[in-house]
Homo-oligomer: A and B are copies of this chain.
Amino acid sequence: METEYETRPREAIARILRAEPRFFSAAELCARLDESGTPVSRATVYRTLERLAAKGEAALRLNDRGEATFMFCDSGHHHHAICRSCGRVEDVACGALDSFVDRLRSLHGFQLDDHSLEFHGKCRSCV
């Protein structure tokens, strides 16, 4: 049986993720954890993030340097608008895009079954 333990490292990580709607890299989290007086090893940070992503509680995103970043995130299908300046993330319902996707479902013989969409710009506070 694999029971799940509630541990200080996991709670510290969750606390940071809960505080801001934006993506954090593992390195960023390590730094924050050090600052806040509850240091957590890199290995544990990676394991915890991977676990959250697997359970669908966190979204995984590769930033433009190819680093894995994570944020707490509703699990349903939707997209993100990401602020170039502060990283703030706003959810965007897939909605109208669906009809576009449907029309493309069979494209040049392709059978499309998934898509990823991201918006970029500046949030209210950063304009």
If A66-B66, A100-B96 touch, whether A107 touches B81 (CB-CB below 8 Å) is: yes
A121 on the interface (CB 8 Å rule)? yes
- Kindly report how many copies of this chain are found in the complex they form together: 2
- B contact residues around A68 at 8 Å (CB): 66
Q: How would residues 103 to 127 of chain A score, 1 for a CB under 8 Å from any chain B CB and 0 otherwise?
A: 1100111111111111111111001
Size of chain A's interface in residues, with CB distance under 8 A?
Answer: 36
Those of A71-127 within 8 Å (CB) of chain B? 81, 83, 90, 92, 95-97, 99-101, 103-104, 107-124, 127
- What residue of chain B has the Cβ atom nearest to residue A94's Cβ? B100
Q: How far is the CA of A81 from the CA of B97 in the complex (A)?
A: 15
Would you list the 10 A-B pairs with minimal beta carbon distance, nearest first? A109-B124, A66-B66, A112-B121, A114-B120, A96-B100, A117-B117, A115-B119, A111-B121, A112-B119, A113-B121
Contact surface of A with B, Cβ cutoff 8 Å: 62, 64, 66-68, 81, 83, 90, 92, 95-97, 99-101, 103-104, 107-124, 127
